[in-house]
Amino acid sequence: MECLLQKTKITMLSNCLILLMVGQAFSIPKTEEVTWYPTYHLAPHKGWINDPNGLIYHNGYYHAFFQHNPENIPEGTKHWGHARSHDMLNWEYLPIALSPSLEDDIDGIFSGSAVNLNGKLTLIYTGVSDNLNKQRQMVAISSDGVNFEKKGVVITKEGDESYFRDPKAWFQNGSWWVVIGSQTTDKLGEVLLYSSKDFFNWTYQGVLAGGNGSLGYMWECPDFFTINGKQILVISPQGLEQDGFNYQNLYQTGYFVGNWQPEQNYTIEKGFREIDHGHDFYASQSFLAPDGRRIQISWLDMWESVFAENVTGWSGMFTIPREISLNEFGDLVSKPIREIIGKRTPNTDIFDTIISSNQMLTLKNNVFSSEILIEFNLLNSSCKAIQLSLKEEPTRDEGVVLYVDIELSRLFMERYYPKYGIDKTNRSVAIDLSLSKLSLDIFVDSSSIEVFVNDGIAVMSSRIYPNNNQRKFSVAPVDGFVNVSLTSYDINVNNQ
């Protein structure tokens, strides 16, 4: 996936330049101290990242590759950066895995995936050339998991090759399969399917799934996998129009639920739904952990965002790796990986109390690298709304607010950092308040917030840019009292 290809090349070049200019237009006031580099999220020490690529567990390591520009330029030529980990939280950064070098990838190394091919870590990726007009699928192989030898082009597309990218490969029923994001001649998004016996000679199997005018003009970063006997197709469509509370970001990432077997059509049972409802979530990719868990990681950013951190030499980060499952209603459930429990400090803040009407209570004074588990007893509460804030003082405007609207049965997230060009905007998700309790598992890591609602039935993820004095976490009921319990931890991780 690539910024310059999201609409027309000219339009997006203009947009990306605006992003860069906005990011460089401000400077951090000398009176402010900021700590924006994350503790337990994967982010570059230097340079730019966007989509996660090549996620795989191989020979004792979790590998994460990523779209990377070493010079920290969003629209710059993309490489594949590389990191590995034993637990998906402590990451060791390795040399750049793939750089433009061949005729077919000279303009960039776009997104792709990784497989174990005869014991070797093997990458399939989109090589870009001809001023971004040619996008072809290419392969590179490593014997040591660090250094890669390119094998050249393995899949091309007849006709227009400018919207043909992001291969996701897997092995099933004695064959290799790959899905690739594409666009029809009518400029509608679609996902194409190919198969191979050897990973180098591929046969076109047709369109796995295609959209209509309501599902955008391009489907990027497809992912296709099985959970509970159902086949899940994840896509990142471009061009969806906002629909009420839905599709409020520039681009979305969501999923279909259906049935598919080799040589059969994909039958969709549940239509497109967003995975995450925050400001920043895109280009998901998943893989299997050794114990069979399906792990999903996404880019915790969005293309229209102001990347305020770029003045400190880096831009972009990934979400917490998430264990995903399908519940009995066919809904995708996302939970933070269980490995994070081992990174909690033993010192915890714990309390259970009733907060009176319009009273404000500070739950935690310094939220930098934290997990906050908060539960509201709805049977023992009378308020019309609940407000949680991460600010210098709860009554001040700048910062982040989580707002539980009891009457609308929605959770809103609002952020506002005017000095960094981030206007006041909110995102929201429907929540089930017929239950006796509402639980929020909130992760704040320097410049991000991720909120898991009711054990992961909904998630909201956004980038935030507080200074070091804007990290007071408070709660207040609106027009009534609320029964709240809280447990909080600091998360300690050492990335190399």
Distances (CA, A) of 206 to 193, 194, 318, 426: 6, 7, 32, 40
DSSP letter assigned to residue 148? -
Q: What is the DSSP letter of 372?
A: E
Question: Would you tell me how many other CB atoms lie within 10 Å of the CB of residue 365?
Answer: 10
Token digits of residue 133? 């007009």
Write out the two tokens for 102.
Answer: 């061949």
Residue 119: CA atoms inside 13 Å, Cβ hemisphere, count?
Answer: 2
Strand order in the sheet with 230-238: 218-227, 230-238, 254-259, 267-274
Burial class (CB in 10 A: 0-12, 13-18, 19+), 90: middle
What would the two tokens of residue 433 be? Answer: 């308040």
Task: Note whether 390 and 464 are within 8 A (CB).
Answer: yes
> Does residue 479 have an active-site annotation?
no
How far apart are the C-alpha atoms of 489 and 479, rounded to whole Å? 30
CB 124 within 8 A of CB 139: yes
Query: Could you give the CA distance from residue 66 to residue 53 in angstroms, rounded to a whole number?
Result: 5
The DSSP bridge partners found for residue 122 are: 115, 141
CA angle 100/318/374 to nearest 5° reads: 180
Contact 37, 52 (CB under 8 A): no
- Strand partners of residue 355: 482
Q: Which residue has the tokens 């400001």?
A: 279
348 contacts 491 by C-beta, under 8 angstroms: no
CA 461/CA 473 separation, integer angstroms? 17
Residue with tokens 């950064």: 93
Amino acid identity of residue 8, one-letter, is T
CB 45 within 8 A of CB 93: yes
CB 423 within 8 A of CB 398: no
Q: Please tell me whether residue 188 adopts helix, strand or coil conformation.
A: coil
- Of 51, 104, 223, 441, which residue is the catalytic one? 51
Q: What tokens appear for 456 in the block?
A: 């992961």
Q: Please answer whether residues 79 and 100 qualify as being in contact, where contact means their C-beta atoms are separated by less than 8 angstroms.
A: yes
Nearest residue to 404 (alpha-carbon basis) of 416, 412, 394, 395 = 412
Catalytic residue set: 51
